[in-house]
Amino acid sequence: MPVVRLTRRQLLAAGLAGGAVLAIGAYGGYRLLRRRKQRRRPAPPREQPFAPSAFVAIDAQGAVTLWLPRPEVGQGIATTLPMLIVEELGADPARVKVVQAPADEAYGSQMTAVSASVRGSFNDMLAAGAAAREMLVGAAAAALDRPAAEFRVHLGEVIHGPSGRRLAFADLVPAAAKRRVPDEPALKPRSEWQYVGKAMPRLDLPAKIDGSARFGIDVRVPGMLFAMVVRPPATGGKVRRFDAADSLAVPGVRNVVAIASGVAVVADHTHAAMLGRRALKVDWEPGPNAGWNASAIDAHLERSLGRAGVVARRDGNGAKGLQGPGKIVRAEYRLPYLAHATMEPMNCTADVRPGQCVVWAPSQSPTTVRSVVAQRLGIPVASVTVNIPLLGGAFGRRVNNDYVFEAVDISRAIGRPVQVLWTREDDIRHDWFRPCSAHRLEARLDGDGLPVALAHRIAAPSILSGDPAFKDPVDPTAVEGAKEIPYRVPDLQVEYSRAEVPMQVGFWRSVGHSYNAFVVESFLDEIAAAGGQDPVLLRRRLLAPASRHLAVLDAVVAKAGPAPAGGGRGRGVAVHASYGSYVAMIADVRVEDRARVKVERVVCAADCGLAVNPDGAAAQLEGGIVFGLTAALYGRVDFEAGAASASNFDDYPLLRFDETPAIEVVHVNGAPSALGGVGEIGVPPIAPAVCNAIFRAAGVRPRTLPLSRGFGESA
């Protein structure tokens, strides 16, 4: 069995430098929450006379335009972030226009990642609204010669309280534009919030129900052509030679060009590009990774699990605490690689001209696109325009921008604007996969069945080691959600053993939480069963009193009511915190023949602190549950000869309508001034809640996912 240890140097040599550069952006995004305060930047040039910041402008007619700094991927920030500005500005929410901002330093961090699009822009949005309001009020106060404190702003008018006089934004714009932009505008007291914290219908709904919403794939530019790229089956492979004759004979095919990632077929329309690609003959150099198949990966993972890792957390005596009297519980868990499978496959449109470039990139990381494209073309960043269309799902896939570079390479080669589209097969096979992982857990229980020592070793490939700047022996994304185990166990150890497997890995909705929550919450149920404890009561005993974990657990138990019994039914619970939010779930399942599970009902209690748009937060939780359930039931990508063997929705199924349980979401606001993420938090707890329910229903303990491959051994 050929085992190739792929180092960073080899990866770079294998032509994946773009990936490496991108991972820097990803790591930057991962660290984004550490940078709290952003310096105020001037607005880009605007046609509106009043543009006090990059985020707000008002024209002479009083029409308000807001710029959305981060990509809308479905998470609803095209509503949530405008709500924050409107709250402070006093504009009429029904009459603001929201524009997706292009990549520009003026907007601060523009990443949509780590569930931080609201958290990361919250202060900027409030300040932008407040600054504009302060200037409008200042203009009104000067016009009426009254103190500013006597004015308030409501639905696009500045109102003088004592006299009742109303001044429209339009009348104040010229004078407001002459005033100094305040550095520290005073924010409204939260008690006066009108919109924030209340359900707001999404502002982007009308375009998303009539076909007018423009996603990346819908970009149309005069003179553009359509391209498909054939790529090496295994990452690291290369084109030896290709024969384009048959391809060029397909009606509508214009060009066949070699680019960094493979060979591109360019045509008048997508269909011709598909046929032309099918007709293309390519002789591949298989590259260093073509020897990897599922059994080689499994064997490598086993070896990683078998050796001591680097300690990520150690409390008390750590793993030494396992020595001693009492019952020992041991278990191992395995989780597979997963694909993102956004409904809109990867695509990008680029127009490269001498010395300049415009791209329409459905990307989660606009500023990374801009700087890397500039670097690739050898032109100044200022000569690259990155427009962000709507993204048809992202889930972490579009933090990496390989599809953008293809569009740029092709347009540069042919001298025309071009849209590159990946087929579904391209999209799944050339994904940046959720890493596989293997877990070994051991606990020692005292006479009451409570764990007094717990050790958890995680073996998994590292995402962040793709960045040469990343030096930490512990990849925080691999241990997240396990390292922060909330249960009070005196002797605790969490280790990370990095598996050096060269499959391309990336950020997948909830990242390490997606597997660690499954493992930790399943194992806690194993402890409960071994110690003869009720799973809910055991969690209550182990969680800190008055903790937010405990509050969501209590809330979900109260909401769920009595458990259904009989007919192969069972109930499972799981609690997990991620991205600053706390979520508890109860799943009610029915198991048939110890082999098929129907998830009938899911109840979810979530504490994300202040939910700016509670209905939007609920939608994200519902979506996270469906996403996590899809992975639990079906998600698995295997590799054969270094290439992913999954390809489309027949062999990489997604949860369908009729398989979706009834879902109920309740919000618990345990810290009204805290901001937690919502985009990913629904994913982690669903798999363990379902598997814990399967155990109660059928007496089998699933320790590998997906469940479609069987539930595993009897517990």
Partner 1 sequence: MPVRKLEINRSSIEVDAPDGMPLLWVLRDIAGLTGTKYGCGKSLCGACTVHVDGVPTRTCQLPVERVVGKRITTIEGLAPEKLHPVQEAWIAESVPQCGYCQSGQILTAVALLAAKPAPTDQEIDEAMRGVLCRCGTYPRIRRAIHRAARGK
Q: What does the binding site for partner 1 look like in residue numbers (CB under 8 A)?
A: 73-76, 201-202, 204-215, 217-218, 220, 226, 251-252, 268-271, 341-345, 390-395, 421, 423-424, 615-616, 619-620, 622-627, 648-650, 654-660, 662-663
Query: Please, are residues 164 and 154 in contact by the beta-carbon 8 Å criterion?
Result: no
Minimal distance, residue 682 CB to partner 1, in Å? 9
CA angle 194, 610, 684 (to 5 degrees): 140
**What three-state secondary structure class fits 409?**
helix
Task: Rank residues 23 and 678 by Cβ distance to partner 1 and give the closer one.
Answer: 678
Which phi and psi angles does 640 have, rounded to 5°? Answer: -135, 125
Closer by beta carbon to partner 1, 345 or else 642: 345
Give the nearest distance from C-beta 407 to partner 1 in angstroms: 16
Identity of the residue, 426 or 521, whose beta carbon is nearer to partner 1 in the bound complex: 426
Least Å distance, CB 290 to partner 1, is: 26
Least distance from C-beta 622 to partner 1, angstroms?
6
From CA 26, how far away is CA 32, in angstroms rounded? 10
* Crossing angle of helices 686-698 and 513-530, rounded to 10°: 30
CB of 509 to partner 1, least distance (A): 10
Shortest distance in whole angstroms from residue 471 CB to partner 1: 35
Closest CA to 227 of 245, 251, 253: 253
Residue with smaller CB distance to partner 1, 198 or 353? 198
Sheet holding 262-267, edge to edge: 253-259, 262-267, 225-230, 418-421, 347-353, 356-360, 384-387
Cβ at position 498, least distance to partner 1 in Å? 30
> In the block, which residue shows the tokens 């390479």?
409
Nearer to partner 1, 321 or 393 (CB): 393
Residue 53 or 581: the one with the smaller Cβ distance to partner 1 is 581
Q: How far apart are CA 554 and CA 548, in angstroms?
A: 10
Which residue lies nearer to partner 1 by CB, 272 or 555?
272
CA dihedral 99, 105, 106, 112 (to 10 degrees): 40
Q: Which helix (H) or strand (E) holds 359?
A: strand 356-360
Nearest distance, CB of residue 24 and partner 1, angstroms: 26
Q: What region does 609 belong to: left with phi over 0, alpha with psi -120 to 50, or beta?
A: left
- CA–CA separation, 252 and 25 (whole Å): 38
349 vs 462, beta carbon nearer partner 1: 349
CA–CA–CA angle 514, 516, 517 (5° rounding)? 75
Least CB distance to partner 1 at residue 233 (A): 19
Of 153 and 390, nearer to partner 1 (C-beta) is: 390
The C-alpha atoms of residue 284 and residue 391 are separated, in whole angstroms, by 33
